[in-house]
Structure 1
Amino acid sequence: MTDRPTSNLTETSLPTQWHTLSQAEIERALQTGMAGLQEDESRRRLARFGPNRLTPPKRRGPLRRLLAQFHNILLYVMLAAAIITAFLGHWIDTGVLFAAVVINAIIGFIQEGKAESALDAIRAMLSPHATVIRGGTRREIDAAGLVPGDLVVLASGDRVPADLRLVAVKELRVEEAALTGESMPVEKNTAPVPADAPLGDRYGMAYSGTLVVYGQASGIVVTTGAATELGKINQMLSGIQSLATPLLRQVDRFGRMLALAILGVSAATFVLGSWWRGHAPAEMFMMVVALAASAIPEGLPAIMTVTLALGVQRMARHHAIIRRLPAVEALGSVTVICSDKTGTLTRNEMTAQRMVCAGHVFDIGGVGYAPVGDCSIGGHAIDPGHYPALAMAIRAGVLCNDARLREEDGLWRVEGDPTEGALLVLGGKLGGTQHLDDKLWPRLDSIPFESQHRFMATYHRDDRGDPWIFVKGAPERILDMCGKQWNHDDDDPLDVDYWRRMATDTAAQGLRLLAVACKRSAPAGERLTFADMESGYTLLALVGIIDPPREEAMRAVRECHRAGIRVKMITGDHPETARAIGAQLSIGVGKPVITGAEVAIMDDAALRRVAMEVDIFARASPEHKLRLVQALQADGQVVAMTGDGVNDAPALKRADVGVAMGMKGTEAAKEAADMVLADDNFATIATAVREGRAVYDNLKKFILFMLPTNGGEALVVIAAILFELALPLTAAQVLWINMVTSSTLGLALAFEPAEHDVMNRRPRPPGEALLSGFFVWRVLMVSFLMMTGALGLFLWELDSGTSIESARTMAVNAVVMAEMFYLLNSRFILAPVISRGGLTGNRYILLAIAACLPLQIAYTHAPIMQAIFDSTDLSLLEWGKVLAAGLLVFCVAELEKFLIRRTGLASRLSHSRLSHM
């Protein structure tokens, strides 16, 4: 520790680009040294900088959060219906409606609480303990007590407790995937890097929350708590407001318009009846109440919740776990999917795909860690045993290796470095089990891999006792050690140009390269030393390794493209690797790859343009991912964002649908997401999109069913008032109709299966109104038909001398019968329903009709119902008239569909997406 005063050390006076500074500059800036801080100085700095923890944001209290759940137009509609039923004395209906309001609010309250735990999950990533050197003494402390200037010691298995500038490194490799998206553990060193180096290329830094997987190091703490890179993500996440889904935005607009329309029509009816027709205000008020009761779609919130819940169940069967109910439908309206690469589009299992020997290039089949695959040249399978250089390169990769390949419960996994694991898998594929048995060629000594030397070497004796030295490492380093290359029959002089050309070609395909060589001799001394590494080696092969894309992800991307959904890859990995994977997935083919550094210098307008034109973004930081999502949303896109790391959490929360990985994802990502993929499979997203589109279809079908039925009832009441007729339906009877049809008939549409062409449609425009012009026409037409049937039957019966109670009973049954038949019409918007599939394809519709019929029979003939609703018995002839009123609606609706299809309007409606609403 220096003796210089430290009172001028403040957070604002410290540098921000620690990765650009040397060790001496770091020590001067933080006034520390290799003996660490003294205890009294660490206490002063702790008071100045605060504890090394992430401060939780201010949150609303439980009561405020609960009350906020009631601020929803759908709940206002339900409350209005509850007030009307209470005014009419229907206390059971009132209780049911109020209970539905409370239950919806409680569900929202619970879901919001779960979403906020994303911040807690990030805070939990901080290491609870740290090993520091203070006053020259090594000790373990609570990580919350770390301060800038502390000297921290890291070992394999440690979680980095704060942002560190490394000052001493021994074979340090850090797993940074959760923070940067880098698929491989990063080899660290102590050298400064340029100021504009991306987060994943700052090799002299170790960041809070990342994991040491190999080696040892010491580093000086440069930032703690909220100032760390992890803390910045936490601040970004806490400042992001989740957006309402397209459906909720549509329903909110629809609910406001409908509420205004109901109030306007009710007020106009009251004024016309009281002033124009001279009815008593009290009588008119009851009529207006009946009108409002008939028009309010009190079944909409319930059917919406049920439909979404059924979608959740169907998605769960396909390994998509929905955490927020509206996300079900939002998936169906997605126009862009922004996907992380590692572990989502790819397997997160390094795989050798190419081997270059002297004169031959071999393609390796199989993916993942399962040792199953073949070897081919130009598409023709070959036997590796016929190619001595290939066979020896495979053996060298297995023997010069510290990883382990194990099978557990039918699943293969690698213990150790993933790249070395890929060589073991290669040996299992092409060399058989004998290559995996190092007892046949026992290891006598080794030189471990070190970043400054960039190779690993092992000394063996074969089954005849002959000595061999194998070496693997960076191609340029191994080439310097080799003077020969192993050809088919014998060693030939090394063709350096050939190997450099093949290395460039392989790297251009996004593969990471290893070179493998051998020397048929023993070490100069008893032990293997660096002097044995200088020359005399024979180059065996170049090995191209990559984390391959999932086969099912390839199919899913094609399905998304067919459905009109853009798929973009946003990864922290290298541009060339991202480009190669994108080409295999048909993402971004023929387009440039944009890096995070390029994104950082773009203004919002330029980024909006680039975000739509480019499909692959590499070396992307959390800020870049968030900006990209926001840029796409600003362009009117509905964005789904996938990810598994804490670095993805802000973008997951901001996206319209955040999708986290369940198996390999961090808790922070899962808590910030709307949906979790239990199988970490991108293909599951395509399945979920299909279910989401089906859910939206069913909601639209329900609205198309509900509005005409409510509209028909309302028109009956309005017509009676305007033409000074006796009221065909009382308020109580209107509520009965709504209760029966909403509870039984409308619910059946939630079970409609997805239509066969659901994934062949373009995504619906995000700003699309819930009701199109075509839908308005259909609603008015069917409403008028229902009004004609019910009011016409009512007037006919009155004209025939029937009592008003019997006429009203027939009117009520006519409305319900018409709704039963129209339910069948509503299964398809334009397609005919007069077929076996159309009439019986949804058994829940048949069950709903079967349940509704006994209720209407009880309403008509049960004495207790007659006492409550003033209904009367009907004869068979009268029931026949009721059936005819229902058939009128069914037949005219099917005739309208036929005319639309016959005149060619169907194709135009389909082109404008109306038929898919």
Structure 2
Amino acid sequence: MTDRSTTAPQETPQPADWHTLSQERIEQMLRTGTGGLPEAEARRRLAQYGPNRLAPPKRRGPLIRLLMQFHNILLYVMMGAAVITALLGHWIDTGVLLMAVVINAIIGFIQEGKAESALDAIRAMLSTHATVIRDGVHREIDAADLVPGDLVVVASGDRVPADLRLVAIKDLRVEEAALTGESLPVEKHDEAVAADAPLGDRYCMAYSGTLVVYGQACGIVVTTGTATEIGKINQMLAGIQSLTTPLLRQVDRFGRVLALAILGVSAATFALGTLWRGHAPSEMFMMVVALAASAIPEGLPAIMTVTLALGVQSMARRNAIIRRLPAVEALGSVTVICSDKTGTLTRNEMTVQRMVCAGHVFDVGGVGYAPVGDLSIDGRIVEAEHYPALALAIRAGVLCNDARLREESGLWQVEGDPTEGALLVLGGKTGFTQRLGDEAWPRLDSIPFESQHRFMATYHRDADDAPWIFIKGAPERILDMCVAQLNHDGERPLEVDYWRRMATDTAAQGLRLLALACKQAAPLDGGLSFADTESGYVLLALVGIIDPPREEAMHAVGECHRAGIRVKMITGDHAETARAIGAQLAIGVGKPAITGAEVAMMDDAALRRVALEVDVFARASPEHKLRLVQALQDNGQVVAMTGDGVNDAPALKRADVGVAMGMKGTEAAKEASDMVLADDNFATIAAAVREGRAVYDNLKKFILFMLPTNGGEALVVIAAILFELTLPLTPAQVLWINMVTSSTLGLALAFEPAERGIMNRRPRPPGEPLLSGFFVWRVLMVSLLMMAGALGLFLWELNGGTGIETARTMAVNAVVVSEMFYLLNSRFILSPVASLEGLTGNRYVLLAIAACIPLQIAFTHTPVMQAIFGSTDLTALEWGKVLAAGLLVFCVAELEKFVIRRTRLASRLNQA
């Protein structure tokens, strides 16, 4: 480096260009040199560029956030019901409803506060201090005081404090997974790279928030604060609006339509009664209140909350932790899952899968770090000791190694480089452990791996005190050192073309390559030096290593495909590796893998087409991931996105369901997500989708149960007004039915288990309305049946000379008993319930009916309830008539299911 701190200022390049510039050019542009910046210049630049921190986003105040929680159609419905009960003087009901409104608002307020903490988590990733060279002196300063042009020193264990252009490196490796998705630490060098190099391939740069895991380096600060790569992600995240879930959108539309319908029918009924029938306005007002009370689905918010909460509990038992309640249902409507590769679809445990020796190719069984597995040739299991080159290569991999393999509580773990750990596991599978190697072949000296040399060498003596030098590294580098190869029958001249061909073939399968070689000789000067690594080596083997797919992930991907859900892999890893893993998982088979650079060149229209067709995306940056999610959503897809790094946070927040990794995920990813996987396993997502579908089914069943109940009551009131009949149900009695019995009964449907074949269905269309044409028909049919039973029984009793109190009591009980029977019908939308499983398969349904029976007996026969609701005692015969009204609903509903099933079966047969 040269001192150019007094050079005239130059035009500052764009941040994307720093990796393309030479060290000299950057020193000129930033007016810095070997001694760093003068302290006075650093203070001036701090005033110019501002502190090296991420600015907090603009946020709404707590009061505004709390008030906005009430801007929700469900809460409007509940508040409307509270107003009605207050008008009727039922202050206890009013208090309960208002309490429910406040609790819902408080829960939403707390959840929104948690969502904003995603930005805090990103800011927390920034280093708090930095070692800087100013005026030629090393000093430690607050990282917020760094400025462009500062000369920063980083070493193993440090978090990079700003975006640096590296200028002096000693074996530097940086963990960038949180930013780029790269599964292994990245080796750095100080040479400029191409302008179009993806973020993960800019080896001359170290980015703010990443972690130095090995070596040390010196770098020039090129960007600070919001201009850094992590700062851009922070700005991107702050600008993304979270989407509401399909269910909430549907319920919002449903609630608006229902509210307008109730208001319209109530106004029409009021006008009809006062203007046409001549009723007094005050009397008609109370009738309209009764009508509105019968039509408003007071139980819907409660049942939604309970059903979603039960889904949360069920998912938690499957290692899926839900952070936002509506995400439970949103999972059930997912049409596309965009998954990260490393650790989610794969084990995040590097494993040797292939050993190439001269004349033989060995497949290695077993996955992960457990030293269990066989070696085979074309499916035939072999023993390593029968193949000299293989045995010596395995020995070389164990001895030329700085990692450690250990077992804790039955789990095998690697300390050190995962690639070196894979070689230790291979040794364990063949009986040559690190302990045995240390005892029989002690290490006397070594040359550690350095990125500029791309190899590691160790010096040993065997049990006979013979000297050996083992070496491992990049195949092209090791090939240059070798003059021979070890064949089955001894050493032979090196066949360079064979090894290059095998290296190409192995790499095409997505495997990372290492070469192993040896020299039976002592170091020239007693200690191992680079002079001992120039030539004269015997090539032993090429090693193919990969992070293998999880077995359970393979099954889960297949289950998703059967369920009509597309699975896409979006990873920061290399295209060849991603394509190979995708093929093993049946993702993107026979299709190309698209890189982030190709995505960047596409306009939005082209990306929308590609996003649907292609399933594997490699070397994807945060912007690419976000654009892919948006493109899929623009195509009408409901997207679940998995991720673990800060680079995934914007896409996680934008997705319909953001899924973060609990074990290796960053706090930024977790806070931006809707769900956290405690086991980082893709199979857990598939299980959560199944649970989400069951939740949606149960919500539909509840609505299908609730609306006919409310509809039947409303039709009773409307018929009485139209035909100038005595009102069969008083407003108080309507509220008793809705608030006490309907909600109690309907709650049991939240506990319905998932129906058989739920994951064999296609995902429901995102725009599908909550009530289909079939649902409207079912609601109308059952509403008419309930009205016929209650109103018919009421008029029959009045014509027979029964008193008005008794007739009304029978009408109320007819509606409630009809609900009890219809609750059994509602367990299955189309399947019959007239079976042991149908009648007893959900014990909560039986418990709800058992709880409702004493409530109705108390309503009918206790003096207190009679005084409040105007009810009266019923005889056994009158109870029998009430029971018949309920059986009518049950039998007709089951007959309707039978007819629809037969009709659909006939239609399918005709199509076939």
The aligned residue for residue 815 of structure 2 is 815
> Does the C-alpha gap of structure 1 residues 477 and 3 become closer, same or farther in structure 2, counting only changes over 3 Å?
closer
Q: Output the amino acid matched with 1:833.
A: V
The aligned residue for residue 219 of structure 2 is 219
Q: Output the amino acid matched with 2:298.
A: E
For the 8 Å contact 2:10–2:28, the answer to whether it is kept is no
| Residues 113-512 of structure 1 mapped to structure 2, 5 A cutoff | 113-433=113-433, 437-512=437-512
> Does the C-alpha gap of structure 1 residues 447 and 151 become closer, same or farther in structure 2, counting only changes over 3 Å?
same
For the 8 Å contact 1:481–1:537, the answer to whether it is kept is yes
The aligned residue for residue 852 of structure 1 is 852
Q: Output the amino acid matched with 1:736.
A: W
For the 8 Å contact 2:709–2:742, the answer to whether it is kept is no
The aligned residue for residue 532 of structure 1 is 532
The aligned residue for residue 781 of structure 1 is 781
1:623 and 1:248 mapped to 2: Cα distance? Answer: 28
1:298 and 1:814 mapped to 2: Cα distance? Answer: 20
1:769 and 1:903 mapped to 2: Cα distance? Answer: 23
1:769 and 1:380 mapped to 2: Cα distance? Answer: 57
| Residues 609-688 of structure 1 mapped to structure 2, 5 A cutoff | 609-688=609-688
Aligned-pair distance for 1:476?
1.1
Q: Secondary structure at the match of 1:345?
A: coil
1:521 and 1:910 mapped to 2: Cα distance? Answer: 82
Q: Output the amino acid matched with 1:675.
A: M
2:608 and 2:431 mapped to 1: Cα distance? Answer: 51
Q: Output the amino acid matched with 2:348.
A: N
> Does the C-alpha gap of structure 1 residues 832 and 14 become closer, same or farther in structure 2, counting only changes over 3 Å?
closer
Deviations 1:751-790 (A, max 9, x none): 0000011100000000000000000000000000000000
Moved more, 740-749 or 803-812: 740-749
Q: Secondary structure at the match of 1:777?
A: helix
Deviations 1:165-202 (A, max 9, x none): 00001100001000000011110000001111100000
1:863 and 1:9 mapped to 2: Cα distance? Answer: 93
> Does the C-alpha gap of structure 1 residues 433 and 453 become closer, same or farther in structure 2, counting only changes over 3 Å?
closer
Q: Secondary structure at the match of 2:352?
A: strand
Aligned-pair distance for 1:453?
1.6
The aligned residue for residue 915 of structure 1 is none
Aligned-pair distance for 1:435?
6.5
Aligned-pair distance for 1:903?
2.7
1:525 and 1:437 mapped to 2: Cα distance? Answer: 24
The aligned residue for residue 2 of structure 1 is 4
2:842 and 2:910 mapped to 1: Cα distance? Answer: 23
1:45 and 1:712 mapped to 2: Cα distance? Answer: 75
| Residues 871-886 of structure 1 mapped to structure 2, 5 A cutoff | 871-886=871-886
Q: Output the amino acid matched with 1:170.
A: K
Moved more, 829-838 or 545-554: 545-554
How many residues were matched structurally?
909
> Does the C-alpha gap of structure 1 residues 82 and 9 become closer, same or farther in structure 2, counting only changes over 3 Å?
farther
Q: Secondary structure at the match of 2:343?
A: helix
For the 8 Å contact 1:19–1:165, the answer to whether it is kept is yes
CA RMSD between the two structures: 1.4
For the 8 Å contact 1:15–1:29, the answer to whether it is kept is no
Deviations 1:607-627 (A, max 9, x none): 000000000000000000000
The aligned residue for residue 751 of structure 2 is 751
Identity of aligned residues (%): 84
1:522 and 1:245 mapped to 2: Cα distance? Answer: 69
> Does the C-alpha gap of structure 1 residues 436 and 38 become closer, same or farther in structure 2, counting only changes over 3 Å?
farther
For the 8 Å contact 1:424–1:436, the answer to whether it is kept is no
> Does the C-alpha gap of structure 1 residues 320 and 788 become closer, same or farther in structure 2, counting only changes over 3 Å?
same
Q: Output the amino acid matched with 1:664.
A: K
For the 8 Å contact 1:331–1:688, the answer to whether it is kept is yes
Q: Secondary structure at the match of 1:633?
A: helix
Aligned-pair distance for 1:439?
2.2
Aligned-pair distance for 1:909?
13
For the 8 Å contact 2:399–2:434, the answer to whether it is kept is no
Q: Output the amino acid matched with 2:899.
A: L
Q: Secondary structure at the match of 2:460?
A: strand
Q: Secondary structure at the match of 1:381?
A: strand
For the 8 Å contact 1:243–1:655, the answer to whether it is kept is yes
Q: Secondary structure at the match of 1:709?
A: helix
Q: What TM-score, normalized to structure 2?
A: 0.98
2:678 and 2:15 mapped to 1: Cα distance? Answer: 43
Aligned-pair distance for 1:446?
1.3
2:122 and 2:87 mapped to 1: Cα distance? Answer: 51
Aligned-pair distance for 1:348?
1.3
2:174 and 2:200 mapped to 1: Cα distance? Answer: 11
Deviations 1:66-121 (A, max 9, x none): 00000000000000000000000001100000000000000000000001000000
The aligned residue for residue 67 of structure 2 is 67
Q: Structure 2: which 5+ residue stretches go unaligned?
A: none
Q: Secondary structure at the match of 1:762?
A: coil
**Are 1:714 and 2:725 matched, yes or no?**
no
Moved more, 485-494 or 314-323: 485-494
| Residues 794-873 of structure 1 mapped to structure 2, 5 A cutoff | 794-873=794-873
Aligned-pair distance for 1:845?
0.3
Q: Output the amino acid matched with 1:581.
A: I
Moved more, 463-472 or 874-883: 463-472
> Does the C-alpha gap of structure 1 residues 203 and 653 become closer, same or farther in structure 2, counting only changes over 3 Å?
same
For the 8 Å contact 1:427–1:435, the answer to whether it is kept is no
Aligned-pair distance for 1:434?
6.4
2:723 and 2:371 mapped to 1: Cα distance? Answer: 84
For the 8 Å contact 1:351–1:368, the answer to whether it is kept is yes
1:632 and 1:839 mapped to 2: Cα distance? Answer: 43
Aligned-pair distance for 1:904?
2.9
**Are 1:551 and 2:521 matched, yes or no?**
no
Q: Output the amino acid matched with 1:422.
A: A
1:204 and 1:469 mapped to 2: Cα distance? Answer: 32
The aligned residue for residue 88 of structure 2 is 88
Aligned-pair distance for 1:431?
3.0
| Residues 711-750 of structure 1 mapped to structure 2, 5 A cutoff | 711-750=711-750
> Does the C-alpha gap of structure 1 residues 501 and 823 become closer, same or farther in structure 2, counting only changes over 3 Å?
same
Aligned-pair distance for 1:741?
2.4
Q: Output the amino acid matched with 2:205.
A: M
Aligned-pair distance for 1:905?
5.8
2:171 and 2:693 mapped to 1: Cα distance? Answer: 51
> Does the C-alpha gap of structure 1 residues 36 and 907 become closer, same or farther in structure 2, counting only changes over 3 Å?
farther
For the 8 Å contact 1:384–1:431, the answer to whether it is kept is no
**Are 1:20 and 2:12 matched, yes or no?**
no
1:659 and 1:618 mapped to 2: Cα distance? Answer: 19
1:834 and 1:613 mapped to 2: Cα distance? Answer: 46
Aligned-pair distance for 1:248?
0.3
Q: Output the amino acid matched with 1:683.
A: A
2:523 and 2:68 mapped to 1: Cα distance? Answer: 76
| Residues 881-892 of structure 1 mapped to structure 2, 5 A cutoff | 881-892=881-892
Q: Secondary structure at the match of 1:517?
A: strand
Aligned-pair distance for 1:445?
1.2
1:910 and 1:118 mapped to 2: Cα distance? Answer: 55
> Does the C-alpha gap of structure 1 residues 805 and 9 become closer, same or farther in structure 2, counting only changes over 3 Å?
farther
Q: Structure 1: which 5+ residue stretches go unaligned?
A: 912-917
For the 8 Å contact 2:394–2:427, the answer to whether it is kept is yes
For the 8 Å contact 1:830–1:906, the answer to whether it is kept is no
1:9 and 1:347 mapped to 2: Cα distance? Answer: 49
Q: Secondary structure at the match of 2:440?
A: coil
> Does the C-alpha gap of structure 1 residues 15 and 883 become closer, same or farther in structure 2, counting only changes over 3 Å?
closer
1:524 and 1:902 mapped to 2: Cα distance? Answer: 89
For the 8 Å contact 2:660–2:673, the answer to whether it is kept is yes
| Residues 540-619 of structure 1 mapped to structure 2, 5 A cutoff | 540-619=540-619
For the 8 Å contact 1:395–1:435, the answer to whether it is kept is no
1:868 and 1:502 mapped to 2: Cα distance? Answer: 89
For the 8 Å contact 1:323–1:674, the answer to whether it is kept is yes
